[in-house]
Chain A
Amino acid sequence: MSAENDQAVVSEGDVRQIASLARLRLDERTIKALTGELNGILEHVRVLQTLQSADMNDGDGTAAKPGPVVLRDPSAQAEPLPPGSVERIAPDWREGFFVVPRLPALDQGAVKESTP
């Protein structure tokens, strides 16, 4: 990503790319407005730049002192959802599956199952 000028941290191009990463479809007006807003916010956040970066993995980010590793009780049973629960909330459900538009990899024929 590149800055368009010294002041702005994000350009409209950057905003388009971020929107794509976040799976958002923004019209031109919104992109323009958001570019301004984000730069405004980032301007206020600039003060953080004076700090030394933390070792991110030194602790997991929770505020209170981290304790020993938390594990699930192996004897705890799964609590089944009431029958039909999943179907009831699904936007499109057929034969026990969640249904979505055909994935692009399908057009390639030989792939039965895809993982990205």
Chain B
Amino acid sequence: MNAHAIDLECVIGLEVHVQLRTDQKLFCADSTRFGDQPNTNVCPVCLGLPGALPVLNGEAVDLAVLASLAFGCVVHETSIFARKNYFYPDLPKGYQISQFERPLATGGCSTVETDGVSREVRIRRIHLEEDAGKSLHDRVAGSTAVDLNRAGTPLIELVSEPDIRSAAEARSYLQQVKQVLEYLDVSDCNMEEGSLRVDANISIRPRGVDELGTKTELKNMNSFSNVEKALDVEIRRQVGLAERGQPVEHVTLLWDEAKGDVRPMRSKEESHDYRYFPDPDLSPVVVPMDRVEAIRAQLPELPVARRLRFEGEFGLPAYDANVLTSTRALADYYEAVAAQTEDPKQASNWIMGPVLALAKERGVSPGDLPLAPEELAGLIGLVQRRRISQNAGKDVLRMMVYRGVSAQQVVLDEGLTQIHDVKHLDAWVEEVLAASPEEVERFQAGEHRLQGYFMGKIMKASRGKADPGEVSRLLLQKLEVRSPR
């Protein structure tokens, strides 16, 4: 995780751009919907037509404030939109409306756990800005095609301090950030669709030194695992340079997934003089303190707090609590089920096991299965009261989901009610023992593992309906009775 040389450490800062899940764009009323026909969700404002003017979308501000509070930031009552001036074909106005000297929020932090070690990564700032459109390189032969549907979509940019010390930690940080944002429901956080993008800044320095080394910027990583791989590669590259006594140049690098390597961006050497100045078309963003508090009151229980509460309130082991709180929807689902079952650990087992597996099979999240919490609770109850066996229960679950009916209904339809009646059970046990005299002798001679053999036969004879616990008790009773001694 740390640099290979003994005395070097790596210093990583991450910039995460997150698209906010608003209906409309940041400065105009166009839809932010992904995947529509190109250049159809556009208007004079996001096209940058002569004479068009931006007007701020309040919903975006609220979501940005919510996110800022969740990361423990100070939300500033007044922040200012600034123009970031540069030329690019998918930047319609020739400037991006962003925030520069007076961002919405500063001074937060995120607790990141990597391989059991917990560290704080400080968040320098969170600010609002508009997204650019898309430049597509293989859409029209020999040219670049520009689609401005995405232009103007609201983004928040989270900038961390360079507190991250390894590629693995970077990945954990990103997972943590994504989890929090998902809990807040402020974004889809989907790297594949581009609603979450990451740029990294990496440098190395001798351990114990405060001064930062020359950093490189790393772009074009389209998944968290790619971020980790890319950082590993770049750290090794910088360490290699250091070992050869060569300086690290301040360059921007692109991650090439196919090659598994980084390479410099070969664009014309641009002096990145963005000439920021406050945007005169927009008033300062004012979020009065009472509004901030009203938004703070809407903060849901955040992942870490919820995990700890699951451990405490439901007595769940850390592993279970972690899995069940991985998304807010799953945590909500679990709590709804646990509220209606007697054993929270059972509820946990069922969800972590068969339910998650079924969801994965169907390619949906557990919350999207046609399996209401009370339905699952009902099923668990049946198994708890031994109306059906555990195994039968798993089959019932499948049938509930595929048929969309209740557990009771399935059990009725399939005649799965577990048999407890001793008379029936007795008959099956006798039947099996009578049919296997040799095995009975061997059991009584000491081959006690043959119990499994008998059990199998009995369950088969009963077509799985026999209550295994009862059967087992009866079987052992009868075997003893049959004993010659």
Whether the complex brings A and B within 8 Å at their CB atoms is answered: yes
- Chain A interface residues (CB < 8 Å from chain B): 17, 20-21, 23, 56-57, 59-62, 66-72, 74, 76-81, 86, 89, 94-116
Which of A21, A76, A89, A111 is the one whose CB lies under 8 Å from B254? A111
Bound: A114/B387 CA distance, A: 60
B140–A94 CB distance below 8 A: yes
B23-44: which have CB < 8 Å to A?
A: 24, 27-31, 37-40, 42-44
Main secondary structure of the interface of B (DSSP, over half): loop
Which of A70, A77, A101, A114 is the one whose CB lies under 8 Å from B56? A70
A97–B39 CB distance below 8 A: yes
Q: For residue A57, which residues in chain B have a CB less than 8 angstroms away from its CB?
A: 80, 101-102, 278
Number of A-B residue pairs with CB-CB distance less than 8 Å in the complex they form: 167
Q: With an 8 A cutoff between CB atoms, is B135 at the interface?
A: yes
Q: For residue B43, which residues in chain A have a CB less than 8 angstroms away from its CB?
A: 78-81
B279–A100 CB distance below 8 A: no
Cβ of A102 to closest chain B Cβ, rounded Å: 5
Bound: A70/B54 CA distance, A: 10
A101–B271 CB distance below 8 A: no
The closest CB in chain B to the CB of A96 belongs to B38
B278–A23 CB distance below 8 A: no
- Interface residue total, chain B, C-beta cutoff 8 A: 73
Q: For residue A97, which residues in chain B have a CB less than 8 angstroms away from its CB?
A: 38-39, 136, 139-140, 145-147
Q: With an 8 A cutoff between CB atoms, is B259 at the interface?
A: yes
Q: For residue B29, which residues in chain A have a CB less than 8 angstroms away from its CB?
A: 72, 76-79
Knowing A17-B271, A71-B58, say if A95 contacts B139 (CB, 8 Å). yes
Which of B58, B148, B268 is the one whose CB lies under 8 Å from A72? B58
Q: With an 8 A cutoff between CB atoms, is B265 at the interface?
A: yes
Bound: A48/B197 CA distance, A: 43
Q: For residue B402, which residues in chain A have a CB less than 8 angstroms away from its CB?
A: none
A56–B42 CB distance below 8 A: no
Bound: A103/B142 CA distance, A: 10
